[in-house]
Chain A
Amino acid sequence: MEYVIIGFLWLSILLYLVLGGADFGAGIIELFSRGDNRHRTRKTAYKAIGPIWEANHMWLIIAVVILFVGFPLIYSTMSIYLHIPLVVMLLGITARGTAFVFRNYDAVVDDMQVVYNRIYLYSSFITPLFLGIIAGTAISGRINPDANRFFEAYVFVWLNWFSVAIGLFTVALCGFLASIYLIGEAVDDFDRQIFTRKAVKWNVVAVGCGALVFTAAWVDDIPLIKWVLGNRVGLTAVLAASVSLIILWISVRKGHSMLPRILAGFQASMILLAVSYVHFPDFLIMKNGQHLSLFKHQAPDATMTALGWALIIGSIFILPSLYYLYYSFQKDGFVEDAEH
């Protein structure tokens, strides 16, 4: 059963990265667009994510619940040492979720819209930045239960070049995912060109941030290259991601909508696989070498069995209806003039 649960944990992190990431990305690319371009992005993005954005963010809840029920020591250790970035991330989630809804459900359209919008855009940037920082810290091996000074124990753990670079890379990845997603939502050729240009831009930014991550790892003495490329799975994942990137751009040029999305999601999963595989089954890398493992630090058997069944039964309910939701709103013109 532990494999089922670990599988679900990995899947919910991945789906949150891909679906939630595309959702954050819509805000990020709007933030970095200007004028009419920005307005166009907003309209298309709203049309694309309006009905499904709540569902996209449920994956985070699922991942958290799996952690605190199945791997309580991992959850509580992260809660203690990553308290500050978790709080910032929560602020971002709160501000973003409410501002998005307020922006679309305010009965009166006036200056308040500008306020909601600004909050929405900035929090779209901050939330994935800190999600990335948290993820970066989990694998960087900086968490130090033996530290006894405040900054050492609770701040410099995550405030370092490597974690921040991972945060920026996450932001860029979100922008890339969203722009690839939006290419398929374009209503005419002109729109398509705009979003394709954005996708190229974000692809470049993502690659740049990726290079930044490796540089930061080198500065912070983290053997990232060895971790990612030093084993067959990591190497294969990186190669697969690179090859799929080439196919992705050929397919965009040919005018496909769905294939590029699938490939972009595939790339995100390969990146996640490459970074998570090397430490597996360790989930939280500790400075003192007492890493927290998904095998060694799991809940008692009875809990794991119950949790596994809850996830299996839950997914029988969730996945088909989720698919039907995506399918329904993919049909042309479905949300064209949805009331808001």
Chain B
Amino acid sequence: MNDFLAARSQMALSLGFHIIYACIGMVMPFFMAVSHFRWLKTKDEHHKNIAKAWSKGVAIFFATGAVSGTILSFELGLLWPKFMQYAGPIFGMPFSLEGTAFFIEAIALGFFLYGWDRLNPVFHWFTGVVVGISGLTSGILVVAANSWMNSPAGFDYVNGQYINIDPIKAMFNQAWFSEALHMTLAAFASTGFAVAGVHALMIVRKRNVHFHREAFKIAAGFAAVAAILQPLAGDIAAKSVAKRQPAKLAAMEAYFKTQPASPLVIGGIPDEKQKKVNYGLEIPSLLSFLVYDNFHEPVKGLDQIPEQDQPPVAITHYSFQVMVGFGMFMMLVGVLYLVAVWFKKHWLEKDWLLKLFIIAIPTGFIAVEAGWMVTEIGRQPWIINGIMRTADAVTPMPGIAYSFYLFTAIYFSLSIVVVFLLYRQIRMVPQLYDKQPKNLQLSHS
């Protein structure tokens, strides 16, 4: 494995794991706060125990998210020192603000985790809300740094020099809004479905049904709303990509030849040598419509991009299809759930609906990973779109392959331990969070 490939693989691996920890760490506090609020309002202990159980999950994911984030803040330099040397001062603004948000999150989490029955209940609840808001803010700020790589702004690039640097303009780059919106909804949908699915599984297995049903309601509500809004955010993002990064859009759609009334290709196997897609389903004019809101305006194809500036097509296209496919599935489940809540209450008792949620446990995270592959691979060969090539940014230190193997081992073992801990938390629900009153058990026996 050559050093460049190893560096890219290590970065992809680190981001791939971090995004899952980060999504859960920034979304679960909101679930926790809702349940906590319901406890304050109803005084029903179930809600308090749900909030407590979830807060353990938050603590575990916050810690893993914090360390994997620390790793990343060093890895940017360890793997891409040339990139950081020039980009640091330009796109560093969101990072310096993110430091604050992250710090506040850690402080609020300290209060929340250790404040049960000690702090004023409303203040305690408020610290939980602060955990969520500051976590989400961190996420949105970090996305600003990535969107700057896709849509560089806030400097002039003259004769290889970066001049007239304006970090504020760099932060408010064109891609920020659409990327942040898409990512925020993705975090809510993926975490919501994963959490709801786990509780659905316990309901189907008839374990602590009331406890899990109350938990399920909160997570499923967030998940459904986010999944239904997501296609709209996706549309905004795709239109923005078409405008700024035609090469990425063309690779996503495996759209080789520019033509009027551009068709949309669903599925298919892109043949990058012959520059065509085999076995794909072509819908005439749809791509033009999605990008320009009319059926005939031609969308820029890969044939208008110089060969050396083209991203890999097949993997970008596959990732995009996977993301959209799972996104559609989640939207469907979300619609069914809301129909059940508002019109068909008896569906909520049915196993099939719960089973759909169980199937949906991994789908959100698969879609998130696929989406990031589209963003990152679709930007290649650039690390700063149109300005600096990824190959020019890599560290001169040889032997990065060993570093890649090492980090692979770390992330996998870390993830195994996290899953193991969550499994133990869930298994211990009857002992820790939902104790059956003794007399009740007696009256049943």
Contacts and interface: CB of A to CB of B under 8 A. Distances in A.
Contacts of B425: 105, 107
A101 interface: yes
A75 B83 CA distance: 11
A246 interface: no
Contact of A306 (B93, B106, B116, B417): B93
Contacts of B84: 68, 72, 75-76, 79
Contact of B88 (A68, A106, A322, A338): A68
21 contacts: A50-B114, A60-B70, A61-B69, A65-B92, A65-B98, A68-B88, A69-B89, A70-B89, A75-B84, A78-B77, A79-B74, A80-B397, A83-B403, A97-B63, A101-B59, A106-B421, A107-B432, A306-B167, A311-B96, A313-B100, A334-B118
Contacts of B166: 302
A303 to B, nearest CB: 4
A86 B74 CA distance: 8
B70 A93 contact: yes
Please indicate which of the listed interface residues B93, B98, B166 has the most CB atoms of chain A within 10 Å of its own CB.
Answer: B93
A95 to B, nearest CB: 8
Contacts of A98: 63-64, 67, 414, 417
A65 B70 contact: no
B85 interface: yes
Interface of B is mostly: helix
A328 B111 CA distance: 9
A83 B395 contact: yes
A325 B111 contact: yes
A80 B394 CA distance: 10
A335 interface: yes
Contacts of B427: 107-108
A202 B231 CA distance: 60
A338 B109 contact: no
B396 A94 contact: no
B107 interface: yes
B81 interface: yes
A219 interface: no
B78 A58 contact: no
Given A55-B107, A78-B77, A102 B99 contact: no
Contacts of A70: 89, 92
Nearest to A88: B406
B116 A75 contact: no
Given A64-B73, A70-B92, A80-B396, 9 more contacts: A55-B107, A58-B103, A62-B103, A70-B89, A86-B78, A106-B424, A150-B399, A306-B167, A325-B110
Contact of B60 (A52, A55, A102): A102
B18 to A, nearest CB: 12
B324 interface: no
Given A51-B114, A91-B410, A65 B99 contact: yes
A57 B71 CA distance: 13
A236 interface: no
A101 B55 CA distance: 13
Contacts of A334: 114, 118
Contact of A310 (B70, B97, B395, B406): B97
Contacts of A35: none
B102 interface: yes
Interface string A315-340: 00110011001001100001100110
B99 A61 contact: yes
A56 to B, nearest CB: 9
B89 A79 contact: no
A299 B63 CA distance: 32
Nearest to B397: A83
Interface residues of B, number: 68
Contact of A87 (B78, B103, B107): B78
Interface of A is mostly: helix
A17 interface: no
B418 to A, nearest CB: 8
A106 B399 CA distance: 37
A168 interface: no
A321 B81 CA distance: 35
A300 interface: yes
A70 B95 CA distance: 11
A98 B403 CA distance: 20
Contacts of B60: 101-102, 105
A302 B74 contact: no
A76 B85 contact: yes
A335 B117 CA distance: 11
A322 B421 contact: no
Contacts of B118: 334
Given A60-B70, A65-B92, A72-B84, A317 B111 contact: no
Contacts of A303: 89-90, 92-93, 165, 167
A58 B102 contact: yes
Contact of A314 (B52, B96, B110, B414): B96
A105 B56 contact: yes
A94 B106 contact: no
Given A72-B86, A306-B167, A105 B64 contact: no
B365 interface: no
Contacts of B68: 94
A250 interface: no
Nearest to B81: A76
Contacts of B116: 339
Given A72-B88, A311-B96, A102 B417 contact: yes
Nearest to A300: B165
A100 B103 CA distance: 19
Contact of A80 (B93, B97, B395, B417): B395
Nearest to B68: A94
A150 B59 CA distance: 41
B341 interface: no
A314 B100 contact: yes
A94 B414 contact: yes
Contact of B67 (A78, A97, A313): A97
Interface string A27-60: 0000000000000000000000011101101101
Given A65-B73, A106-B421, A310-B100, A54 B106 contact: yes
The 9 A-B residue pairs with the shortest CB-CB distance, nearest first, are A69-B92, A79-B77, A299-B89, A314-B100, A72-B88, A76-B81, A101-B63, A107-B428, A76-B85
B305 interface: no
A229 B179 CA distance: 54
Please indicate which of the listed interface residues B52, B62, B74, B119 has the most CB atoms of chain A within 10 Å of its own CB.
Answer: B74
Contacts of B97: 310, 314
A90 B71 contact: yes
Nearest to B115: A328
A57 to B, nearest CB: 8
Nearest to A301: B165
Contact of B424 (A90, A108, A339): A108
Interface string B144-169: 00000000000000000000011110
B104 interface: yes
Contact of B74 (A64, A77, A150, A154): A64
